[in-house]
Amino acid sequence: MNRREFIKGTLAISAASFFSPTILIDGGNRAMAKENLSWWQKKSVYQIYPKSFLDTTGSGTGDLRGVIKKLDYIASLGVGAIWLTPFFPSPMVDNGYDISNYTDIDPRFGTMADFEELVAQADKRGIKIVVDLVFNHSSDKNQWFLESKSSKTNPKADWYIWRDEKTNWRSIFGGSAWEFCEERGQYYLHTFATAQPDLNWENPEVRQALYDAANFWLDKGAGGFRIDAIVYIKKPSEFKDGIVDSEDGLSSIHNITAACDGILDYLREFKEKVFVGRDIFTVAEANGVKPENLSEWVGKTGVFDMLFEFSHVNIMFNRGVEIWHRARLYKLSEWKKALSESQIATANSWYPIYFENHDRPRSVNTFFPSGSDKKLAAKALATILFTLRGTPFIYQGEELGFENAKFNSIDDYDDISTRGNYDLARADGLSDKQAMKFVHRFSRDNARTPMQWDSSKNAGFTSGKAWLPVHDDFKACNVEIQEKNPDSVLNFYRKLSALRNSSEVLISGEYEELYPENEELYIFTRTLGDKKLMTIVNFTTHEVKMPITGGKKIIGNYSDEKNYLRPTEAIIYEF
């Protein structure tokens, strides 16, 4: 059946004035045969923030043995890999993204033997361990930096970015991106926190040291890498002031350094020295790479297998600069367009589908209107997550429909970026109350509260004092309760994951969006040969007319079926 016949045969526009005319985004998608796909394309990935997953020692901080203990739970989600956020030695200024030794384990998380056991135990369940490489910057307590800052002439003197003069760049976590170092009498550059000095990728010794660290983890059995903040490794050829964008007189470093010309030369070398010839996958975090440039970054012609680009999660921010109190309202059609553009741009490569991670607020609070039923919303987002084309990434707690946390005072927040954004809002004239509204909406701590395993003290996460308070809904929302409820978000995730893992059309089929201008529904199809599935999701809190006829419902977040869509309803149809 070709596309035109399909539209004639199965789609009926029920009310011309209600729905925009059918406009199909022509993706030019090419279906890929399932047998040609790699293991990481056929299964999902589960992301773990070890600090908040499960504490086996009573320290209040999760650890690697906690991950080992829950491998059967993770396997029950049908995933093929676990992405672990950093577990390396770290002063924890940015919860592990400030690394003081790239080839060891922080004692808070366990030992190298624990890591090796985790790799082996996961392997028995068909699950690979994916390591997070934080190569744009290290910790200021890293031996490399301690040496570099000690003089202008030591062997590591230009392993970091030193200047006599500073520019007006604002770091991503707030304040100047330059810090004066008395010892050396110069400023060093830090894209993120003061304690996260940027490494100098111009220096071939630095690059080699980083490649060696990556290869170390591959030799330990890592199945792939998530590569942190990679767009910032190349700086512009000239260091000039940027345009002031806030009352603090500074200019966001993101606008100045993200994806600078020449970055791909480094990345091609990185690929050559580390990834080539290994049965692994790479997914790089790349805020600022436009969908139209994706082909240079991913797939056979690119450097990574997948790229976490930010267009759909940062839809509320201009140019990807996360100044929270400047968040804007956006239309559903804009959000759908961001997803469709990424789907189209990766039609011949691959895409990591995600709505949550340790940096984002919980998706049920972000992408659905405030009055929506949160469990239905969690299932609706899951329906999209498992039916877009690409590898679904599930972030711990997302599979239970976790909601944002809400702490009373800015002092209750641990996350460094939350404090930076709060300060910027205050500097721009907002009251504490106004600034806290944005903290509640966007703080990264929203998604970092401990995993909720059961209804016991601290949700079964720790026998000690949790490093970040457990969400106060844990008695109603936890793994133990959801295991027992066939209708839970957790069991819905399991069903969808099993469906995707066994469905050629969901793994390989072409993506096509229908009714892109509709501001209430997201509708898209996946097609492989004569098989077609359609996902339809109602993003409103009211009933909406069903714009399609025909098709057999195979799963949905309401058990029965009507000839209209109920609030937050999501359905997958088979044609």
Judged by CB under 6 A, which of 63, 114, 140, 228 binds ligand GLC?
228
**Active-site pick, 285, 359, 399, 569:** 285
Distance CA 138, CA 404 (A): 30
**Is 285 noted as a catalytic residue in this protein?**
yes
Closest CB to ligand GLC among residues 29, 357: 357
Q: Closest separation between CB of residue 21 and ligand GLC, Å? A: 40
Q: Fill in the per-residue mask, 236 to 275: x = in contact with ligand GLC (CB under 6 A), - = not in contact.
A: ----------------------------------------
Distance CA 323, CA 439 (A): 11
CA angle 221, 46, 273 (to 5 degrees): 40
Q: How far is CA 172 from CA 229, 243, 247, in A?
A: 11, 15, 16
From first CA to last CA, the distance across the chain in angstroms is: 11
Closest CB to ligand GLC among residues 138, 251: 138
What is the CB-side half-sphere exposure of residue 212 using CA atoms within 13 A? Answer: 9
Closest CB to ligand GLC among residues 94, 520: 94
Distance CA 485, CA 518 (A): 34
Which residue's beta carbon is nearest to the bound ligand GLC? Answer: 97
User: Tokens standing for 76?
Assistant: 């029950």
Q: Closest separation between CB of residue 137 and ligand GLC, Å? A: 7
Residue 198 binds ligand GLC (CB under 6 A): no
* Positions in 57-96 near ligand GLC (CB under 6 A): 94
Q: Fill in the per-residue mask, 349 to 388: x = in contact with ligand GLC (CB under 6 A), - = not in contact.
A: ---------xx-----------------------------
**Active-site pick, 228, 322, 445, 520:** 228
Closest CB to ligand GLC among residues 234, 358: 358
Closest CB to ligand GLC among residues 396, 525: 396
265: number of Cβ within 10 Å:
11
Closest CB to ligand GLC among residues 134, 534: 134
Q: Closest separation between CB of residue 81 and ligand GLC, Å? A: 17
Q: If binding means CB under 6 A, how many residues of this protein chain bind ligand GLC?
A: 9
Q: Closest separation between CB of residue 193 and ligand GLC, Å? A: 8
Q: Taken in order 240, 244, 249, 254, is the CA torsion positive or negative? A: negative
Distance CA 328, CA 433 (A): 19
Residue 499 binds ligand GLC (CB under 6 A): no
Contact between 230 and 168 (Cβ < 8 Å): no
Distance CA 146, CA 130 (A): 29
Q: Which residues contact 40 (CB under 8 A, 6 or more apart)?
A: 80, 81, 128, 223, 224, 281, 305, 391
Q: Closest separation between CB of residue 536 and ligand GLC, Å? A: 32
Contact between 468 and 445 (Cβ < 8 Å): yes
Q: Fill in the per-residue mask, 142 to 181: x = in contact with ligand GLC (CB under 6 A), - = not in contact.
A: ----------------------------------------
User: Tokens standing for 167?
Assistant: 């520019």
Q: Closest separation between CB of residue 94 and ligand GLC, Å? A: 5
Q: Closest separation between CB of residue 160 and ligand GLC, Å? A: 15
Residue 192 binds ligand GLC (CB under 6 A): yes
Q: Is 232 left (phi over 0), alpha (psi -120 to 50) or beta?
A: alpha
Judged by CB under 6 A, which of 229, 284, 353, 439 binds ligand GLC?
229
Of the candidates 175, 91, 208, the residue with the CA atom closest to the CA atom of residue 138: 91
Q: Closest separation between CB of residue 285 and ligand GLC, Å? A: 6
Distance CA 81, CA 72 (A): 13
**3-class DSSP state of 193:** coil
Judged by CB under 6 A, which of 179, 285, 305, 520 binds ligand GLC?
285
Residue 134 binds ligand GLC (CB under 6 A): yes
Residue 97 binds ligand GLC (CB under 6 A): yes
Contact between 61 and 108 (Cβ < 8 Å): yes
Please name the helix (run of DSSP H) or strand (run of DSSP E) that holds residue 148, with its range, or none.
helix 143-150
Closest CB to ligand GLC among residues 258, 294: 258
Q: Among all residues, which ones are annotated catalytic?
A: 228, 285
Interface residues with ligand GLC (CB under 6 A)? 94, 97, 134, 192, 228-229, 285, 358-359
